[in-house]
Amino acid sequence: MIEKAYGKINISINVISKRDDGYHNMDMIMAPIDLYDVIDIEIAEKESYWCNDNLPYDETNIIYRCIELLRKKFNFKEQFSIKVTKNIPQEAGLAGGSTDGAAALRIINKLLNLNLSLKQLSCLGKEVGADIPFCVFQKVARVRGIGDIVEPFNLKVEYDVLLIKPKQGVDTKVAFEILDLDKCPHPNIEKVKMALINNGPLKGILGNSLLYSAKKLVPEVFDIIKECKNMGYEDVLMTGSGSTVFVLLEKGQNCSDLTKYMKEKYPFVYRTSILIK
């Protein structure tokens, strides 16, 4: 059974506070994008795993952890043949791991007729990773809590997206560890949501608290943002903890000048669109 595991961008992120359990309270706008890994899982006599990116299949692998979580909860004995084709870069802020885990949850749910709702799957998924609940739904949403409160909404218009990633990635754990909540930006997420719903201007209201950490870890992110704005593109931001920068574009908008310029400088430049479901 094959599932497309779509990546995501964070159109804005406000990290509100740190919790006693080590997680952070967040308020953010997340959107699935038409860049995806392909997850193929079938019931088999013997467990097997293949990935074009040579990722190990152990406790460090989110797919493994999601399947074993379901195995523990529902006590099934089935083994699986798992094939993963990675297209989403790692340490990019695009949920490349989380979306694969979410796809695995959806597939096992169908293969074994567990009959769990997407809401139930998302509740289970948050035990593995904070981005998994959103990735289970794969819909534009305001996301709160540690990532477990997912509130889908409809966009007024469609957007294309240009993704630009420097060579160096960002370790999400480190990004949160060095985050200073008194010094980082705190965008108004309600304003961003209403602008998206009403097709209002986004200039000046987009923001990401984790830019504070990125400045210390991958200063190139700021170079990319500055270069985009110097070329006349205003709706530019880093997604997640980085290191990918995205440019929001009108559907069909020509950005060949920017694309050509960025491809000469950075290893990953990809045009896609926000997924509307």
SS3 per-residue string spanning 187-238: CCHHHHHHHHHHCCCCCCCCCECCHHHHHHHCCHHHHHHHHHHHCCCCCEEE
**What is the average pLDDT across 53-57?**
90
pLDDT band for position 156 (50/70/90)?
confident
- Mean of the per-residue pLDDT values of the chain: 97
Which DSSP category does 263 fall into?
H
Give the distance, in angstroms, between the CA of residue 10 and the centroid of all CA atoms in the same chain.
Answer: 7
pLDDT band for position 71 (50/70/90)?
very high
Which positions are annotated as active-site residues?
8, 131
User: Is the pLDDT at 85 greater than 80, yes or no?
Assistant: yes
CATH 3.40.50.620 fits 2-152, yes or no: no
User: Is the pLDDT at 277 greater than 80, yes or no?
Assistant: no
pTM of the predicted protein model: 0.95
CATH 3.40.50.720 fits 159-273, yes or no: no
What is the per-residue pLDDT for 44?
98
**What is the average pLDDT across 229-245?**
97
**What is the average pLDDT across 187-209?**
96
Ordered by start, the domain boundaries in the chain are: 2-152, 159-273
Q: Let me know if 8 is exposed, middle or buried by CB neighbors in 10 A (0-12, 13-18, 19+).
A: buried
pLDDT band for position 264 (50/70/90)?
very high
pLDDT band for position 118 (50/70/90)?
very high
User: How much of the chain, in percent, has pLDDT values that exceed 70?
Assistant: 100
Which amino acid type is present at position 209? S
* Inter-residue contact 135 to 8 (CB < 8 Å): yes
* Inter-residue contact 59 to 187 (CB < 8 Å): no
User: Is the pLDDT at 55 greater than 90, yes or no?
Assistant: no
pLDDT band for position 189 (50/70/90)?
very high
